[in-house]
Amino acid sequence: MSEIVVSSRVRLARNYEDLPFRNKITKEQSEECVRRTLEALRPLPQPYTFLPLKGMEANEKKALVEAHLISPDLMEHEETAAALIRDDEKISVLMNEEDHLRIQGFTLGENLNDAAECAFSIDDALQEQLSFAFDPQWGYLTACPTNAGTGLRASVMLHLPMLTAQKQMGKVNQIAAKLGLTLRGIYGEGSEAQGNLYQLSNQVTLGKTEKEIIDAVAATARQMAEMERIYRHKAEDKDAVAFEDQLFRSYGLLTNARRMPIKEFMAHWSNLRLGAALGKLPVSLKTCDALLTAAQPAHVQKAAGTALNDKDLDAYRSELIRNALV
């Protein structure tokens, strides 16, 4: 499965009963939100890092967004926003985002249940000591009613290069919509999905149990992975040389280029991962997925240690890529 499902994520939206939501909260109340969350989570066994956004370097924040550890939305409230991230990066708790808390569980590959268990463990620890806004009819109450109920968003990152190439994404989108799920590109803007990476997630949060929501996303992801697999085989059967040629060309470019813009990288990365998934290229899926994050702009900038202009950034990226692959 992990040859197509890159990662799984479960997010819970929670708000403290006695504090106003984002639009009406004062600075002092936002600080209280952080204070009581940290206090309640203090006895957790594993090591965590606490990161207040205020005063953090701009590139550092961007790198956290690139690693999906914080949301772009959190950056809009940097005066009061903060994140608590478990050192293995499987759990992050965002404070003072759209809701008081966004609790995220994360795993590599297809394992939404594991991601959910991570999020629930934090939810349980907090609820033992603190009261969340809850209504018997509408469940956990959120700043925007579109998140009320379970407050749960289950999502998987899918790598669908052949479905994209064979123009099947319209059909795949319709399957998702019929089941109350949404599919969208993760990188790039609008309808363009850089790297052929998509996020499949639930739309509706009320009226279904956490398990029902998670099972629906997981089952649909499996169905889409099966479709992708079929198209991979079809392409190979049709013209194996052309198929391999495409993969090896990207591998050749990534291992030799001296300047690699991000957009070009994303296109070749997709072929690299496809080649790794099929065992055709001498690279592991783990290396591929680590490279995906490591080659994003803020990560390259961070690794360089000094502020780079665009051209130098592309040059440094190519070096990082070669070091990872060769």
Residues in contact with other proteins by CB under 8 A are 15, 17, 19-24, 98, 120, 123, 127-128, 131-141, 143-146, 148-150, 152, 173-174, 177-178, 180, 182, 184-185, 189-191, 203-212
Round to whole Å and give the CA distance between 136 and 285.
45
Q: CB-wise, 201 or 296, nearer to other proteins?
A: 201
Per-residue DSSP letter, 132: B
144 burial (CB, 10 Å; 0-12 / 13-18 / 19+) is: exposed
Per-residue DSSP letter, 217: H
Q: CB-wise, 28 or 128, nearer to other proteins?
A: 128
Round to whole Å and give the CA distance between 80 and 254.
41
Query: Smallest distance, Å, CB 200 to other proteins?
Result: 12
Judge whether 100 and 19 are in contact, CB under 8 Å: yes
What would the two tokens of residue 164 be?
């994209």
Q: CB-wise, 193 or 260, nearer to other proteins?
A: 193
Per-residue DSSP letter, 10: E
Judge whether 96 and 80 are in contact, CB under 8 Å: yes
What would the two tokens of residue 222 be?
């499996």
Residue 98: strand, helix, or coil: coil
